[in-house]
Amino acid sequence: MAKNGAETGRLSLVFMFLFFSSCSCTGNEFELLLSIKSSMNDPLQSLSNWNLSLPFCQWKGIACDNSSHVAKIELSGKNLSGKIPESIFHLPYIETIDLSSNQLFGEIPINFPSCLSLRYLNLSNNNFTGPLPKGSNSQLQVLDLSDNMLSDKIPEEIGLFSGLEYLDLGGNVLMGIIPKSLSNITGLQFLTLAANQLIGEIPRELSMLKSLKWIYLGHNNLSGGIPIDIGEITSLNHLDLVNNSLTGEIPSSLGNLINLQYLFLYLNKLTGPIPRTIFSLKNLISLDLSENFLAGEIPELLNQLQNLEILQLFSNNFTGKIPNAITSLPHLQVLQLWSNKFSGKIPKDLGKRNNLTVLDLSTNNLTGKIPESVCGSGQLFKLILFSNSIEGQIPKSLSNCKSLKRVRLQNNQLSGELS
């Protein structure tokens, strides 16, 4: 008897589970769609043909699969306003929902049914408020909720969206720490939590995400050091930790990130030198370490960064000469070294083999002359050298530099003028 009772109890549990999981994922698609329409304000009449005169597979913004079930709702940028009804997540065969760039508001229905076939959800650029949706959907691959007004903490349960490849929660008002459970999402390639109000340290567990290509955590209030373990994510292409309160030195392990093209650490409180390993990142296109407390010299090893287009080191405490190696970087377009303590002469051939558009070396302790070839690219439009000890004649070649729009040379020992 006792055994039987337990059996029955277990069966009814199974039954309840089946009942709940299936009930939330079925429904009359036609009626679900009409309820979605009725909950939205549609000033551009984008939903005007959502009516009985047409089968719903032909309604604007709807795409069906080959069994005539609704597979996609794509209504981006249609000025739709109103709330998003929970029923949208009850469409049993839905794979793609794109309602980005509208004026939808209210909370995002909080509990995703786990049986949902949804792969792609883009609600970015609306006016959604409230917390992030919870759930445990392992099929979802793309979740873009960026540029809304979502608040509260990022729940630890975010790790249950274990199938995500793309997660963008940037541009909201999320608070609290970055949950370690993100490290459960092992296929994640793109992670943006930028422009929120996150605090605490960058979890070293992120290094378990070996497929990550992009990490954007900028414009928060993250503190502590840059985890050494980030150097293990060798698939990384973009690493952006700008405008936080990060302290300590740049870990030399970042030199292992052989695929890195963009390294942005500006506006933090980083100290110490640039580790020499950084100069082995041969694929770097843009390196921005400006507005920190970095010091030391820039080594001639810089010549290894032959793909570099942008080098921003302004507002730090760098000393020593500007390395001659800089003249050998053929793609270099933007060089901003202002407000440091660089001394010695400006490399004589600067601009000759570079592709300079912006050169700002102001407020340093530079001597010597303005290089004859500084406008060698014919593209130079900004030349800012004020507050140094640069001397000699302003080169004639500058007068022929037709691209030049903005020049500041004051507070040096220059003679002659631009004609």
Ligand X SMILES: *[C@@H]1O[C@H](CO)[C@@H](O)[C@H](O)[C@H]1NC(C)=O
Residues that bind ligand X (CB under 6 A): 44, 48-49, 51, 53-54, 65-66, 76, 79, 81, 100-101, 103, 105, 122, 124-125, 127, 142, 144, 156-157, 159-160, 166, 181, 184, 199, 219, 221, 223, 243, 245, 267, 293, 316-317, 330-331, 333, 341, 343, 355, 357, 365, 379
Minimum distance between the CB of residue 9 and ligand X, rounded to whole angstroms?
A: 26
Measured from the CB atom, the residue of 3 and 405 that comes closer to ligand X is 405
Measured from the CB atom, the residue of 333 and 373 that comes closer to ligand X is 333
Minimum distance between the CB of residue 414 and ligand X, rounded to whole angstroms?
A: 16
Measured from the CB atom, the residue of 8 and 221 that comes closer to ligand X is 221
Measured from the CB atom, the residue of 254 and 288 that comes closer to ligand X is 288
Minimum distance between the CB of residue 342 and ligand X, rounded to whole angstroms?
A: 9
3-state secondary structure labels for all residues of 211-256: CCCEEECCCCEEEECCCHHHHHCCCCCEEECCCCEEEEECCHHHHH
Minimum distance between the CB of residue 6 and ligand X, rounded to whole angstroms?
A: 27
- Cross-strand partners of 222: 200
Query: In sequence order, which residues have a C-beta less than 8 Å from that of residue 174 and are 6 or more positions away?
Result: 132, 150, 151, 152, 153, 154, 193, 196, 197, 198
CA distance 121 to 112: 11
User: Is 44 buried (19+), middle (13-18) or exposed (0-12) by CB count in 10 A?
Assistant: exposed
Give the CA count within 13 Å in the CB-facing half-sphere of 341: 9
- Cross-strand partners of 311: 287, 335
Whether the Cβ atoms of residue 209 and residue 191 lie closer than 8 Å to each other: yes
Minimum distance between the CB of residue 19 and ligand X, rounded to whole angstroms?
A: 25
Gyration radius from the chain CA atoms: 28
Q: How many residues does the chain have?
A: 419
Whether the Cβ atoms of residue 205 and residue 181 lie closer than 8 Å to each other: no
Minimum distance between the CB of residue 169 and ligand X, rounded to whole angstroms?
A: 12
Tell me the pairing of strands 166-168 and 190-192: parallel
Measured from the CB atom, the residue of 219 and 231 that comes closer to ligand X is 219
Residue nearest to ligand X (CB): 159
CA distance 182 to 206: 7
Minimum distance between the CB of residue 54 and ligand X, rounded to whole angstroms?
A: 5
Minimum distance between the CB of residue 61 and ligand X, rounded to whole angstroms?
A: 13
Closest CA to 314 of 331, 330, 293: 293
Centre a 10 Å sphere on the Cβ of residue 406 and count the other Cβ atoms it contains. 10
CA distance 40 to 52: 18
DSSP 173-191: EEEEPPPGGGGG-TT--EE
Measured from the CB atom, the residue of 341 and 408 that comes closer to ligand X is 341
Minimum distance between the CB of residue 310 and ligand X, rounded to whole angstroms?
A: 11
Measured from the CB atom, the residue of 31 and 417 that comes closer to ligand X is 31
Measured from the CB atom, the residue of 19 and 293 that comes closer to ligand X is 293
Measured from the CB atom, the residue of 181 and 231 that comes closer to ligand X is 181
